[in-house]
């Protein structure tokens, strides 16, 4: 594997190491949990029964993962066994008289309990209370003893005893539901094998909405006060099941499909086998349903995992892109099926941009790597969005017919088995005869992507189209992989338009494999436009250096929506009145809303009065995402005229939550710039305060926009105090998290209220909610002050979530880099002073103990105070 060195930030942090699949003492055949849960006391107790078939007769020791549990007894074949438990591993010494052999399945029974567990099982103190589990990546070990590796597949069974009227929902089919006084017992059985991280248990008082796909129940569990939103949000599920069953060549394999919407879920969704958990924030009211497609993509993503991840299981976390990349690509596939190719292509562009943002701003890594601290660190934009783009490139390389043959071969060959990336390559070769290892070497097993610079000119005398293509990402090295060179066949579209306005595009494939290549293409006539990477199927970045007429023509005539967007962006970089006129003319004639949205964004980068006039027209667009982009672009002008355009939306609202929120933030942006003669910042502050008081709604989107607007008015103590007020625990959670993040926007190191802000952030550092911690880290990383380092370290020390730990470490590095040398010295001196005090306190304590025991006092440091401090 070749690691590229073009990124300035490394994915590998201190403490990272290579990870491998663990040794297997045997094959787990069945796992049965028999549990009682008390949600008020936040406790769980019962038995874990593991049916294990040893691999050999010499097995004398078992080590199970079990973190933070109370282990009471262990039996094997109903005989008590000697065990040792250190809070992380349960070691069982097997009695030599058990007669262990591969022909005999061992029954391991563990009596255990949990009290307010930190991970794995989450008790949510809502009314009524809820409890739910989250196993991925390696958190099942926090709620039951197990061999917690994705490589172990077994059938499973959960019997859960809960107080009425609560329901318990789990994997597979409901075998029994019995009452026992105030208790109710739910007995679930999962007949197909799956790994421990996909086992789930949810407890709550839910509204139940029944649906079906063929003869299988499809069920939606939602909070009772959101029952009306269930079918609106999840109602396309049966149609999706049908679609994925068809394209993957394997009918939905499980007894039922349930989706359970739970409170305070720490992910968007989790694809537990046959029982997906979703955040209740995905539920849509009628107004949100008109503009939000993220929930639909979430439902499709988690459902696709029932094939990629649950039916075909990864053997090791380093290969998680197989499932996460396909689930992310399934979002594209579903949108292509439901809304057409243009929508799908634009959505795929969004996935590409998400990956590119992480690659440029955060770090670069190979998609497949086994070097990390915790496996959860792998669950990033490289794994999801870049993985989706790679699947799309495979599709374009093979063509639709062979791509689906390869995918179906993969699913059918490895159903109910574990896989690695090489198995996908083998399935492709088996189905199509194609060896795609060169593609995987470039995009999967190393980091990065090609960064093309393309210039074009027409040589009329020789009837030649001349394209010069540079790979700008090339580095020093010997081999192409070491030099970060890509070897790709890129289709170039030569577009012409006849007198009747008919567009024809001739595709010319070019092999690009050198740092710089010039192609001379003989043509019978001058092209109207040239589309580099026609269809935009290649994962890349590209800068176009084309003449203005060709870009204007591409914006108007290119049949590919991404080609038109590419032209709009290239035009924006040229700027000028002619460009604005071209973009303004394109807005009313452009048929696809995504292109109109991108045009509005580009107009915001060209600060001319004519741009503002064009954006005024975009405010009347039928599509909410175009209007929202127009509002955001108008706000960048920071003028009185821009304010007059946004004022009616901020005052009276919009049918779209996102448009209204953007307008409220926008008037704050404009007011902070203090254009003359208006708006007066005090008047805008009053408007934002009123919005906070009166515009409650779906996921607090609108009021979050008002908070963001207040964050722009940081010169005004009233605005800062209002944001501080909305960080209180009683504030609805999405709005509270937005307020916490906004404190980071306000907290300039010279701000007169900085100390007040830091004191509030210090109070928040004691909270353990995942999303509160995440908002806090996002706020702190924006503030360049030595005290921030201590607060970040407190969050890192308190959290048990690997995502927060990584966010803290990255924020620490950023803040340290931004601090001046003097600040860093003060921080070091402060840290040393704290160490001196701790050392003195330790000495005093030892002297006290020595005096009591009449033992001689010993210095706690063999080096003495100064040496110990300097060493530290």
Cβ-based burial of 527 (10 A; exposed 0-12, middle 13-18, buried ≥19): buried
| 8 Å CB contact between 783 and 752 | no
- d(CA 465, CA 203) in angstroms, rounded, equals 66
> Under DSSP, is residue 450 helix (H, G, I), strand (E, B) or coil?
coil
Ramachandran sector of residue 543 (left: φ over 0; alpha: ψ -120 to 50; beta: rest)? beta
Residue that has been written with the tokens 């007995």 in this structure: 187
Chain-centroid distance of CA 597 in Å reads 24
Integer CA distances (angstroms), 326 to 130, 248, 293, 525, 555, in order:
31, 11, 19, 42, 31
Rounded Cα gap, residues 490 and 488, in angstroms: 6
Pairing of strands 70-76, 130-133: unpaired
712-727 pLDDT, tens per residue?
Answer: 999 999 999 999 999 9
Check residue 87 and give its pLDDT: 97
Nearest to 378 by CA among 94, 546, 137: 137
* 3-state secondary structure at position 308: strand
Q: What is the secondary structure of 327-386 as a DSSP string?
A: HHHHHHHHHHHHH-HHHHHHHHHHHHHHHHHHHHHT-B--SS--EESSGGGG-STIIIII
Tell me if 337 sits within 8 A of 172, measured CB to CB. no
> At 442, is the secondary structure helix, strand, or coil?
helix
Q: What is the model's pLDDT at position 481?
A: 84
Asked whether the beta carbons of 88 and 67 are under 8 A apart, the reply is yes
pLDDT at residue 826, rounded to an integer: 63
Considering only CA atoms, give the Rg of the chain. Answer: 30
**Site of tokens 């071969």:** 409
Residue identified by tokens 């032209």 is 567
- The stretches of 561-639 forming alpha helices (DSSP H) are 561-574, 577-589, 593-603, 609-618, 624-635
519: left (phi over 0), alpha (psi -120 to 50) or beta: beta
CA distance 493 to 504: 9
So what's the pLDDT on residue 842?
72
Does residue 70 contact residue 114 with C-beta atoms inside 8 Å? yes
Q: What is the distance, to the nearest Å, from the Cα of residue 14 to the centroid of all Cα atoms in its chain?
A: 23
Tell me what pLDDT residue 5 has. 37
Report d(CA 160, CA 166) in Å as an integer: 11
pLDDT reported for residue 335: 98
Residue in this structure with the two tokens 């909070």, named with its chain if needed: 223
**Residues of the chain falling short of pLDDT 70:** 1-8, 821-841, 843-844, 846-872
Beta bridge pairs of residue 270 = 277
Q: Taking Cα atoms as reference points, which of 447, 325, 341 lies closest to residue 392?
A: 325
**688 Cβ contact list (under 8 Å, min separation 6):** 664, 667, 668, 706, 709, 710, 713, 719, 722
Q: What was the pLDDT predicted at 853?
A: 57
pLDDT of residue 482: 87
Q: Which residues contact 363 (CB under 8 A, 6 or more apart)?
A: 7, 9, 10, 11
> Distance (Å, rounded) from C-alpha 5 to C-alpha 593?
39
Taking the C-alpha atoms of residue 311 and residue 192, their distance in angstroms, rounded to an integer, is 9
Six-digit token string for 505? 């595009």
Element (H, E) at 438: helix 437-443
Q: Is the pTM of this model over 0.95?
A: no
What is the structure's pLDDT at 50? 98
pLDDT of residue 867: 33
- Answer whether 74's CB lies under 8 Å from 41's CB: no
Cα–Cα distance, 1 to 14 (Å, whole number): 21
Contact partners, residue 237, CB within 8 Å, separation at least 6: 211, 213, 218, 220, 257, 259, 299, 303
User: What does the DSSP assignment read for 521-577?
Assistant: EE-SS--SEEEETTT--S--EEEEE--HHHHHHHHHH-SSHHHHHHHHHHHHHH-SH
**How far apart (Å, rounded) are the C-alpha atoms in residues 306 and 55?**
29
Q: What is the 3-state secondary structure (H, E, C) of 67-83?
A: CCCEEEEEEECCEECEE
pLDDT in tens, 403-462: 999 999 999 999 999 999 999 999 999 999 999 999 999 999 999 999 999 999 999 999
Output DSSP code: residue 22: P
- Helical residues (DSSP H) of 674-732, grouped into ranges: 681-694, 701-712, 717-725
Closest CA to 14 of 829, 788, 812: 812
* CB-based contacts of 827, cutoff 8 Å, min separation 6: 786, 789, 819
Can you tell me the distance from the alpha carbon of 272 to that of 307, in angstroms, rounded to the nearest whole number?
A: 11
Count other Cβ atoms within 10 Å, centred on residue 594: 23
Query: What residue spans of 160-277 are helical by DSSP H?
Result: 227-234, 237-247
């Amino acid at each position: 594997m070749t690691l590229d060195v073009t990124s300035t930030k490394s994915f590998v942090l201190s403490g990272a190491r290579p990870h491998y699949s663990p040794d297997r003492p045997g094959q787990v055949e069945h796992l049965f949990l028999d549990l009682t849960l008390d949600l008020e006391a936040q406790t769980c107790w019962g038995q874990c029964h593991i049916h294990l078939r040893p691999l050999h007769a010499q097995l004398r020791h078992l080590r199970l993962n079990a973190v933070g549990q109370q282990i009471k007894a262990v039996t094997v074949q109903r005989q008590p066994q000697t065990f040792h438990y250190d809070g992380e591993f349960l070691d069982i010494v097997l009695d030599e008289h058990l007669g262990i052999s591969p022909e005999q399945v061992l029954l391991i029974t563990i009596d255990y309990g949990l009290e307010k567990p930190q991970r794995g099982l989450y008790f949510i103190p809502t009314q009524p209370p809820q409890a739910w589990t989250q196993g991925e990546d390696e958190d099942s070990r926090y709620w039951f003893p197990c061999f917690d590796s994705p490589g172990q597949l077994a059938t499973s069974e959960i019997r859960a005893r809960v107080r009425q009227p609560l329901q318990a929902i789990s994997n597979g089919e409901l075998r029994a539901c019995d009452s026992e006084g105030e208790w109710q017992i739910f007995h679930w059985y999962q007949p197909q094998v799956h790994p421990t991280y996909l086992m789930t248990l949810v407890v709550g008082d839910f509204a139940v909405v029944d649906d079906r796909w063929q003869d299988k129940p499809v069920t939606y569990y939602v909070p009772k006060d959101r029952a009306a939103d269930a079918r609106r949000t999840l109602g396309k599920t049966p149609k999706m099941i049908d679609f994925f069953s068809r394209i993957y060549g394997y009918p939905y394999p499980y007894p039922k499909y349930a989706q359970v919407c739970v409170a305070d879920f720490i992910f968007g969704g989790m694809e537990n086998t046959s029982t997906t958990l979703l955040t209740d924030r995905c539920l849509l009211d009628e107004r949100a349903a008109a503009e939000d497609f993220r929930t639909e993509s979430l439902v499709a993503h988690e459902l696709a995992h029932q094939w990629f991840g649950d039916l075909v299981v990864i053997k090791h976390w380093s290969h998680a892109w197989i499932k996460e990349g396909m689930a992310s690509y399934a979002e594209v596939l579903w949108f292509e099926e439901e809304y057409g190719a243009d929508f799908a292509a634009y959505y795929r562009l969004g996935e590409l941009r998400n990956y590119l943002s992480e690659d440029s701003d955060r770090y670069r890594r190979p998609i497949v790597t086994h070097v990390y601290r915790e496996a959860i660190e792998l669950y990033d934009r490289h794994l999801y969005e870049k993985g989706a783009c790679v699947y799309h490139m495979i599709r374009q390389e093979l063509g639709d017919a062979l791509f689906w043959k390869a995918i179906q071969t993969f699913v059918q060959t490895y159903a109910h088995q574990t896989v690695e990336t090489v198995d996908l390559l083998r399935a492709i070769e088996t189905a199509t005869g194609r060896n795609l290892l060169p593609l995987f070497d470039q995009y999967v097993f190393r980091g990065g992507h090609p960064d093309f610079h393309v210039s074009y000119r027409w040589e009329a005398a020789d009837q030649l189209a001349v394209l010069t293509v540079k790979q700008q990402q090339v580095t020093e090295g010997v081999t192409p992989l070491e030099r970060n060179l890509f070897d790709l066949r890129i289709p170039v579209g030569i577009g012409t338009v006849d007198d009747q306005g008919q567009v024809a595009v001739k595709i010319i494939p070019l092999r690009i494999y050198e740092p710089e290549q010039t192609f001379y293409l003989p043509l019978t006539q001058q092209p109207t436009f040239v589309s580099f990477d026609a269809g935009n199927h290649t994962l890349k970045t590209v800068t176009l250096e084309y003449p203005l007429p060709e870009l204007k023509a591409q914006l108007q005539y290119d049949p590919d929506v991404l080609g038109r967007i590419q032209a709009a962006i290239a035009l924006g970089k040229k700027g000028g009145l002619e460009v604005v006129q071209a973009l303004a003319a394109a807005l009313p004639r452009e048929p696809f809303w995504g292109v109109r949205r991108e045009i509005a964004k580009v107009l915001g980068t060209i600060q001319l009065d004519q741009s503002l006039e064009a954006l005024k027209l975009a405010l009347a667009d039928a599509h909410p995402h175009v209007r929202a982009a127009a509002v955001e672009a108008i706000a960048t002008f920071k003028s009185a005229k821009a304010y007059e355009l946004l004022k009616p939306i901020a005052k009276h609202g919009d049918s779209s939550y996102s448009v209204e929120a953007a307008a409220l933030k926008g008037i704050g942006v404009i007011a902070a710039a203090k254009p003359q003669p208006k708006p007066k910042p005090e008047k805008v502050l009053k408007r934002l305060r009123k919005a906070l008081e009166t515009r409650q709604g779906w996921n607090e989107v609108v009021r979050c926009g008002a908070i963001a607007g207040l964050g722009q008015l940081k010169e005004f103590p009233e605005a800062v105090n209002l944001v501080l007020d909305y960080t209180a625990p009683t504030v609805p959670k999405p709005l509270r998290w937005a307020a916490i993040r906004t404190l980071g926007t306000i907290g300039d190191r010279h701000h007169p209220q900085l100390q007040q802000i830091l004191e509030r952030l210090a109070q928040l550092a004691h909270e353990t909610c995942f999303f509160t911690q995440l908002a806090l880290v996002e706020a702190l990383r924006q503030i360049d002050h030595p005290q921030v380092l201590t607060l970040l370290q407190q969050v890192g020390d308190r959290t048990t979530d690997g995502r927060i730990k990584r966010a803290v470490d990255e924020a620490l590095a950023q803040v340290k880099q931004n601090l001046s040398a003097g600040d860093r010295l003060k921080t070091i001196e402060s840290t040393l002073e704290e160490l001196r005090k701790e050392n003195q306190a330790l000495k005093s304590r030892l002297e006290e103990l020595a005096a009591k025991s009449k033992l001689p006092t010993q210095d706690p440091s063999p080096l003495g105070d100064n040496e110990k401090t300097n060493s530290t």
